Amino acid sequence: MIAKQIKKIQPSGIREFFDLVLGMPEVISLGVGEPDFITPWRIREKAITALEEGYTSYTSNQGLLVLRQDISDHYKKKYALTYNPKNEILITVGVSEGLDLALRAVVNPGDKVIVVSPHFVAFPALAQMAHAKVLYLLTKEEEGFKINPKALKELVKQNPKAIILNYPSNPTGITYTKKELKEIWKVLSKKDIVVISDETYDELTYKDVHTSFPSLDKKAKARTILLNGFSKGYAMTGFRVGFVCGNKEIIEAMTKIHSYSMMCGPIISQIASSEALRAQKEVKQMRLAYQRRRDFIVKEFNRLGLKTIKPQGAFYCFVSLKKYKIDSLEFAKKLLFQEKVAVVPGTAFGKEYSSYIRISYATSLDDLKNAIIAIERFLNKL
Ligand SMILES: Cc1ncc(COP(=O)(O)O)c(C=O)c1O
């Protein structure tokens, strides 16, 4: 019954592992990539009011114009980027849908798409569903898990149709400076490659300011499909709102697919998202809380000999197990069964990363402290 293309795709390593966690009581989960904060009250209140006022219909396929206008204003203010809300912005059902649409809109069967590893689980799966051939660009711990421009130059010789960038990164938490992005763009600009830039975690950048890829120059803007949304920075995963900014032609193509497959994003969530863009004070408070947790967890992991690069964004650490010479799945399973702490094996983000685990610090400081005590006990028995 099932199409060959779908049979080929592996189920998400995260899901597989968390099926084990389900039903186990009292587990401290450092697994899920989801804020532990409840959506700020002013955003929820807006959604409640919208419902009370009877906003229960479809919206236009592209999404509410007022939300597109707010996103356009936000990008102008924050990144000096201009997108026309009428035809250069599309509201999607999370960044997940934006990714799917972007790939389906540009990939012809057999086209190559570069995925930078370790990678968010959906990137290769969605590329394959769009009938692309995935080219993996492996990054290394010694290079801070960042793209090596020379390695990228080699890979683009295979004439890929697109590359998916993601910074701050899930699963490593690394991000790029403007200078580093310019180096990457220098390589990409020589070829006719579409840049799909997933900047879902831009609001969770701790030290330096985030540089949005299309802001590098005019040509970069013309070639980039910029993806972002409200799930992470605004703690709105369940609202399911994302957006795409790009040139008129690409937005038109993506809207065509979206109008047949999804029709539109949920209206109440769209109304709440406009309010979210005004909740920058609340976003900052959450960011500062994540930063405190990051500082704690990185210091503690390094103290335990689990080498961890200090992440500059998102809410993940990619922790090295090399000192303990143990496979990531075995480590994660033993830790779960012996100490009831859930982490994600590195292999979920690329088969080469079997000496790493991903931990999410989107959980309370108390839980993080208890997890560290349990992990220390576990390591002493290894
Ligand atoms: C890099 C990245 N992109 C996209 C998503 C999907 O986010 P959304 O909830 O907006 O669909 C995630 C969620 O974990 C992510 O980590």
The predicted structure's pLDDT at residue 173: 97
The predicted structure's pLDDT at residue 18: 77
What's the Cα-to-Cα distance from 135 to each of 124, 138, 144, 175, rounded to whole Å? 9, 10, 20, 21
What angle, 0 to 180 degrees and rounded to 10, lies between the N-to-C axes of helices 94-106 and 248-261?
110
Find the mean pLDDT for residues 60-66. Answer: 98
What is the per-residue burial (b if ≥16 Cβ within 10 Å, else e) of 341-364? bbbbbbbbbbeebbbbbbbbbbbe
Q: 125-133: which pairs have CB atoms within 8 A and are 24 or more residues apart?
A: 125/9, 125/10, 125/12, 126/99, 126/100, 127/103, 127/164, 128/5, 128/8, 128/9, 129/5, 129/6, 129/9, 129/100, 129/103, 130/100, 130/103, 130/104, 131/5, 131/107, 132/103, 132/107, 132/161, 132/162
The predicted structure's pLDDT at residue 13: 67
Q: Is 96 in the pocket of ligand 1 (CB under 6 A)?
A: yes
Q: Is 264 helix (H, G, I), strand (E, B) or coil?
A: coil
Q: Is 285 helix (H, G, I), strand (E, B) or coil?
A: helix
Find the mean pLDDT for residues 62-68. Answer: 98
Q: Is 231 in the pocket of ligand 1 (CB under 6 A)?
A: yes
Q: Is 234 in the pocket of ligand 1 (CB under 6 A)?
A: no
Q: How far apart are CA 310 and CA 296, in angstroms?
A: 11
Question: Ligand 1 centroid vs 147 CA: distance in angstroms?
Answer: 20
Find the mean pLDDT for residues 335-349. Answer: 94
What tens digit of pLDDT does each residue of 69-119 get? 999 999 999 999 999 999 999 999 999 999 999 999 999 999 999 999 999
Q: Is 135 helix (H, G, I), strand (E, B) or coil?
A: strand
Question: Ligand 1 centroid vs 377 CA: distance in angstroms?
Answer: 33
Residue 161: how many CB atoms within 10 A of its CB? Answer: 19
105 phi and psi, to 5 degrees? -75, -25
Find the mean pLDDT for residues 45-62. Answer: 98
Q: Which CATH class is domain 41-278?
A: alpha beta
What tens digit of pLDDT does each residue of 257-267 get? 999 999 999 99
The confidence band for 346, taking pLDDT boundaries of 50, 70 and 90, is very high
Q: Is 212 in the pocket of ligand 1 (CB under 6 A)?
A: no
Of 222, 124, 211, 206, give the one whose Cα is nearest residue 164: 124
Q: Is 296 helix (H, G, I), strand (E, B) or coil?
A: helix
What tens digit of pLDDT does each residue of 198-254 get? 999 999 999 889 999 999 999 999 999 999 999 999 999 999 999 999 999 999 999
Find the mean pLDDT for residues 29-36. Answer: 90
Q: Are 72 and 246 in contact (CB under 8 A)?
A: no
Identical fold for domains 4-39+281-381 and 41-278, yes or no, is no
Find the mean pLDDT for residues 266-278. Answer: 98
The predicted structure's pLDDT at residue 26: 87
Please report, for the chain, the start and end positions of each structural domain, with discontinuous segments joined by +: 4-39+281-381, 41-278
Question: Residue 252 has which token pair?
Answer: 């038109």
Determine what percent of the chain is predicted with pLDDT higher than 70: 99
The number of the ligand 1 atom at minimal distance from the alpha carbon of 98 is: 11
Helical residues (DSSP H) of the chain, grouped into ranges: 4-8, 13-21, 41-52, 65-79, 94-106, 122-129, 149-155, 178-188, 218-223, 248-261, 267-276, 280-303, 328-339, 365-381
What tens digit of pLDDT does each residue of 116-172 get? 999 999 999 999 999 999 999 999 999 999 999 999 999 999 999 999 999 999 999
The confidence band for 330, taking pLDDT boundaries of 50, 70 and 90, is very high
Protein residue closest via CA to atom 7 of ligand 1: 95
Question: Residue 19 has which token pair?
Answer: 């099926």
- Which residues, 6+ apart, have CB-to-CB distance to 103 below 8 Å? 113, 126, 127, 129, 130, 132, 162, 196
Name the CATH topology of 4-39+281-381: Aspartate Aminotransferase, domain 1 (3.90.1150)
CA dihedral 96, 97, 100, 103 (to 10 degrees): -100
Q: Is 175 in the pocket of ligand 1 (CB under 6 A)?
A: no
Q: Is 224 in the pocket of ligand 1 (CB under 6 A)?
A: no
Find the mean pLDDT for residues 337-349. Answer: 94
Q: Is 166 in the pocket of ligand 1 (CB under 6 A)?
A: yes
